[in-house]
Chains A and B, each alone.
Chain A
């Protein structure tokens, strides 16, 4: 009697189904060891993972914070240096409206120095000559005088530069030349002079000079051309707030902004375009919040 495949399968199944074979004792011992080991492993692994994660995060955070501090310090110094000439130029602008944005800062500095020297000289001259003429020389008087003189010198210097003495400047030059006359004036009207200096500040006469320059002389244009290279530093500051993904920090900022909708993001990098490297300027872990004020 031949046996079909199914029959044979069935016979094997039936016969083997009730079979029992006793295992050796080591099996149970092995099970206990494995269960204990697994329990220890399972309970410890997540804790270790979390601890490691936090440690790494803090370490990385501190690293960047410290690094960021150094860099921002450097940046502050750098910007201070940068701001100095700008402030100087701003002063120069106040006193001297002929000078447009293209004016050479260095030349201004030297101009002021020259002006200051001139004032000193004049003051010494005055002190020499006015020793007899001026009897009442108070501080206000001196200040007012020096102010006026400074302005006069500025404009004088300007005339040197432009090689184009205007009518007012000419007057002032004459005044300078005829020192005794001025001294008399100064001596006679000390209070008015203070007002006068205030009146001079708006630079009206200097404005009046302005249109004359391009029309009459070529030297001025030469001066302009020479100074064209500098303004690049000033406009560079203007588009600071233009945001684009230029640095790695910007990329992180964008990604974080998508995920984190809070005002203070979980991590924020500086977004100034001046520096090549990005610095962390803010970290917000909820309970720990660090934020650097951006300059």
Chain B
């Protein structure tokens, strides 16, 4: 453990730990938030965790140069931007119609 701690940035394990924790926190966020924007933040956390894993594996496990994994990360970032833009536009539209962004209350298809 001490060895891992001392050589932190040169080992794969610390990155995996951080990414796993990020992903779990993202799951917690998605599961507990009922505000749509908060929900979105959880998704962003999970995407970041996946990206971090991509780049870390690319650096320590992948073929040289490590750029393949980074391209994947870039694509994820770009898609996250697109997703955030559309999601927030949707949130805005929902807010305009319902005056609320609580995901549990937007259930008019339910027949209520």
Q: Does A associate with B in a complex?
A: no
Residues of A participating in the B interface, judged by any CB pair closer than 8 Å: none
